[in-house]
Amino acid sequence: MRRRLGVNVDHVATLRQARRARYPDPLAAALIAERAGAAQITVHIRGDRRHIQDHDLTRLAASVQTLLNVEAACTDEMADILLSVRPHRVTLVAERPGEVTTEGGLDVAGQAAEVAAFASRLGAAGIHVALFIDPDAPQIDASCVAGVDMVELNTARWAETGNRGELVRLATATERARSKGLSVAAGHGLTLQNLRDLVLAAPGIEEYNIGHALIGDAVFLGLETSVRRYIDLLA
């Protein structure tokens, strides 16, 4: 299986927003990432707009040549934006106001009807929907019931602890999801140092969405080289 890299360009926008300037431009970064072999461009439009802005989504949707994956919370505001931009995929995430970064997966099991209704509204508009969840059986089972065909497993615990038990948890969740017919992506906190162990432990993960570390490495390596290093680790 050819594993895909989704490059999250949020933090190019973080740098731009630090000065409320016009650059660096996340779209320019997306085009370089695609040239370097990224299979997808991922962005998270947050309620507080701390990095990606509404106009970024419009420009990315018009120019990304691969696939555009937009992460967003299940709010009415986001539904309006997503239905107007119509990216190829939306990954539904949990968002707590004031959090530094996404703190955990979406509690699909705890709000099954709401998530299913939100996903089906997007699905009816031709948008592919995935759910970002913690790698636990109840969340996987609830995702199936919600009617989606893809989950993204939250790798933050593996990234934070380096505990091999977390690799087993991710591998077990991957197998469970696949046995139920779900495609499996993974992301959060992945780096050049911790990615390979996960690839080896959970070969059923088809796609990785990586942002903070990849953009950070690009400061020293250049973006094309940084993207290629991550792709090499997925081989």
Select the span of 82-90, 112-120, 139-147, 184-192 touching ligand PXP (CB under 6 A).
184-192
- Which entry of 95, 152, 166, 188 is annotated as an active-site residue? 188
DSSP structural state of residue 188: S
What SS3 state is found at 69?
strand
Residue 162 contacts residue 155 (beta carbons within 8 Å): no
- In this chain, which of 72, 187, 223, 231 binds ligand PXP, going by CB under 6 A? 187
One character per residue 136-175, x = contact with ligand PXP (rule: CB under 6 A)? ----------------x-----------------------
Other residues' Cβ atoms within 10 Å of the Cβ of residue 103: 12
Nearer to ligand PXP, 72 or 201 (CB): 72
DSSP E strands in the chain: the ranges are 4-8, 40-44, 68-72, 89-92, 128-133, 150-154, 183-187, 207-210
Residue 152 is a catalytic residue: no
- Which entry of 34, 51, 71, 166 is annotated as an active-site residue? 71
Nearer to ligand PXP, 34 or 95 (CB): 95
Q: Is 78 in the site for ligand PXP (CB under 6 A)?
A: no
One character per residue 86-115, x = contact with ligand PXP (rule: CB under 6 A)? -----x-x--------x-------------
User: Structure tokens of 104?
Assistant: 């955990």
- What are residue 6's DSSP bridge partners? 40, 209
Q: Is 188 in the site for ligand PXP (CB under 6 A)?
A: yes
Q: Is 233 in the site for ligand PXP (CB under 6 A)?
A: no
| CA dihedral for 143, 146, 147, 152, sign (positive or negative) | negative
Q: Where is 32: in which H helix or E strand?
A: helix 26-35
Q: Is 69 in the site for ligand PXP (CB under 6 A)?
A: no
Q: Which residue, 113, 102, 67, 108, is CA-closest to 86?
A: 67
Residues of the shown chain interacting with ligand PXP in the complex, contacts defined by CB under 6 A: 8, 10, 44, 71, 91, 93, 102, 132, 152, 187-190, 209-213
Q: Which residues are catalytic?
A: 44, 71, 188
